[in-house]
Amino acid sequence: MSDLLTIALTHAEHGWHVFPLRPDDKRPAFPDHPTDQCTGRDPRCRAAGRHLGWEARATTDPDRIRRAWSARPYGIGIACGPSLLVVVDLDVPKDDTNGPTGLDTLTDLAGRHGAGIEPTYTVSTGRGGTHLYYQHPATGPDLRNTAGTLGPMVDTRAHGGYVVAAGSTVAGRPYVVDLDTDPAPLPRWLAGPLTPAPLPPQQRVVVDLPANRSGAYVRAAIDREVARVVTAASGERNRTLYIAAVALGQLVAGGALTEDDAQALLEQAGVDAGLRTTEAFRTVRSGLAAGARRPRQVAA
């Protein structure tokens, strides 16, 4: 059994969802295409009947892990959302330039809250930075990735993000466990600034449809897809939104629904489900474009 396979299995035993990275690289090995370029030829996309990104492919299944890491010396990615992790990425200045390190920034932030940086699972990154692993809060909204929200040289990875796991290398530089202990609960002084602000109330989108059989069919399709999005499980929301956009994009291409109405309805559903507005906008645009390639006519 290879070292990387053993390490990937060990991470999965912690309940961390892993997926292959390109050997000695940060980029996911699969899929090799973005959502809006999915042709369905990828075996997993074909089996699922939809595009499957790296987050959906991440797993704790030992059999799947053995198959993947027995094939090639893939690096190991950990999908933070499904793993219920928040990872604080403490960077260091590039090229020995002056300025605070991520650890300096986090230490200062902790001090302003009268706290310290408690021990937690810690990994040294290939470039000399540090990853601090914390448990995602059990209550409250899903935390997302941030860049600079906590201050200079500090990013975070949570739902929608991943980290290179210990045991991997990037450009020949290893990621190494510094402190092998269970991830600590995310401190309140960190959870506060990372919690997204509640969105202001939105005016509900109203779609004017004909009062006939075709109008009723389109209304039912809209209600079904919107309900699918707003009730999607954490970690599945973006993918579910894309699938819904493909379905309504077919109706748009067939002339049963305007593109503006479909965009507004689904974007609102994505935000209601907990996605960021920009993320929902991009996903809906991609899904509508994919659906437009397969128009669906609705009988009057």
Average pLDDT over residues 277-292: 88
3-state secondary structure of 84: coil
Percent helix, strand, coil in the chain (nearest 5)?
A: 40, 15, 45
Q: What is the pLDDT of residues 30-68, one digit of tens each?
A: 988 776 677 778 888 877 666 778 998 999 999 999 999
* 88, part of any domain: yes
Q: Are residues 154 and 9 in the same domain?
A: yes
* 173, part of any domain: yes
Q: Are residues 95 and 153 in the same domain?
A: yes
Q: Are residues 159 and 24 in the same domain?
A: yes
3-state secondary structure of 37: helix
Given a contact cutoff of 8 angstroms between Cβ atoms, the answer to whether 214 and 298 are in contact is: yes
* 204, part of any domain: no
Q: Are residues 114 and 15 in the same domain?
A: yes
pTM, to two decimals: 0.74
Of 256 and 47, more confident = 256
Q: Which pLDDT value is given to residue 125?
A: 97
* 123, part of any domain: yes
Q: How many domains does the chain have?
A: 2
Q: Which pLDDT value is given to residue 38?
A: 75
* 298, part of any domain: no
Q: Are residues 188 and 258 in the same domain?
A: no
Out of 194, 225, 259, pick the residue that ends a domain: 194
Q: Which pLDDT value is given to residue 199?
A: 58
Element (H, E) at 106: helix 102-112
* Tokens of residue 48, six digits: 């699922």
Q: Which residues contact 277 (CB under 8 A, 6 or more apart)?
A: 199, 267, 271
Q: Are residues 68 and 21 in the same domain?
A: yes
Q: Which pLDDT value is given to residue 180?
A: 97
d(CA 182, CA 179) in angstroms, rounded, equals 9
Q: Are residues 13 and 107 in the same domain?
A: yes
Average pLDDT over residues 138-153: 91
Q: Which pLDDT value is given to residue 238?
A: 86
Q: Are residues 78 and 167 in the same domain?
A: yes
Q: Are residues 24 and 127 in the same domain?
A: yes
Out of 167, 194, 221, pick the residue that ends a domain: 194
Placement of tokens 């593109």 in the chain: 259
- The amino acid at 136: H
Out of 147, 164, 194, pick the residue that ends a domain: 194
Q: What is the pLDDT of residues 80-90, one digit of tens each?
A: 999 999 999 99
Range of the domain at 228: 213-292
Least confident of 70-74, 198-202, 223-227: 198-202
Q: Are residues 179 and 219 in the same domain?
A: no
Q: What is the mean pLDDT of the chain?
A: 90
Q: Are residues 226 and 177 in the same domain?
A: no
Least confident of 15-29, 135-149, 286-300: 286-300
Please say if the pLDDT value at position 266 is more than 80: yes
* 201, part of any domain: no
Q: Which pLDDT value is given to residue 96?
A: 66
Paired sense of beta strands 146-147 and 154-157, if any: antiparallel
Q: What is the pLDDT of residues 156-201, one digit of tens each?
A: 999 989 999 999 999 999 999 999 999 999 999 999 999 987 656 6
Q: Which pLDDT value is given to residue 203?
A: 66
Least confident of 178-182, 191-195, 272-276, 286-290: 272-276
Placement of tokens 């020949």 in the chain: 172
Q: Are residues 235 and 134 in the same domain?
A: no
Which 8-state DSSP code applies to residue 232? P
* 63, part of any domain: yes
Which DSSP string corresponds to 239-259? Answer: HHHHHHHHHHHHHHHTTSS-H
d(CA 18, CA 114) in angstroms, rounded, equals 35
d(CA 90, CA 106) in angstroms, rounded, equals 8
* 272, part of any domain: yes
d(CA 13, CA 52) in angstroms, rounded, equals 23
